[in-house]
Structure 1
Amino acid sequence: MERFLGLVQDGRFSILMPRHQCCTVRLTRIARPASIAEELTASHAIDLAEYEGRAIMVTGVLPERKGWLYEANVIDQAGPILTEVVKETFSPR
């Protein structure tokens, strides 16, 4: 299980840290069995509406194939001030 820091934008999670894993994904609590890995739909996604526009920290498994973060769990969320600090710190220069 890894930790990811990112921002929620348009219901998706944009990974900012670790930087080498930078991408935008949907979160699901489902463990990644081979049979369902290709069949995930929006109905399998964790609803991130309450975190929209905020920085959050998530644990989960990011497979080689991008698009979904499996076994995801939101472990913390930033308030407005810390969210702005995260945006400023990790924005591309």
Structure 2
Amino acid sequence: MNLKHQYLGIVEAGRFKLLMPNSVAGGYRRLTTMKMQGTQPPELNEIHLDEHDGQAILVSGSANEVWIWSAEVVEVASAILTILIKQMLENTQTEVPH
């Protein structure tokens, strides 16, 4: 069974920087529509994100250390929502535990 997961991130210079889930936050992944068991290189079906530069996006798929396979861009956040997401994450990262 191949479970799809959801990943929230920001597109920076055409690269998908993961914000959530926390287990992969801060890392970068490339997106491909190809299935993980594909026989061809994933680059053939790579999703290019240049048009979403600076925006938060929600992606579904199955990730490894480099790729999100069977990737689908589920939603692209508006400018306002992207600013709120960035601000929320900055506040979370700068909080000092008690």
Query: Under TM normalisation by the shorter chain, which class is it?
Result: 0.7 to 0.9
The structural deviation recorded for 1:40 is 4.0
- Deviations 1:33-54 (CA, angstroms, capped at 9, x unpaired): 2755xx544x542011221100
What corresponds to 2:32 in structure 1?
A: 28
Q: Which ranges in structure 1 are unaligned for 5 or more consecutive residues?
A: none
Partner of 2:62: 61
RMSD: 1.6
Structure 2 CA distance for partners of 1:80 and 1:5, relative to 1, 3 Å: same
Q: How many residues align?
A: 88
1:3 aligns with 2:2: no
Select the structure of larger CA radius of gyration.
Answer: 2
The 3 A distance-change label for structure 1 pair 49 and 34 is closer
Does structure 1 retain, via aligned residues, the 8 Å contact 2:34–2:42?
no
Tell me the percent identity: 32
SS of 1:50's partner is helix
| Counterpart in the other structure of 1:87 | 86
Are 2:76 and 1:72 equivalent residues in the alignment?
A: no
Runs of 4+ in 1 over 2 A off after TM superposition: none
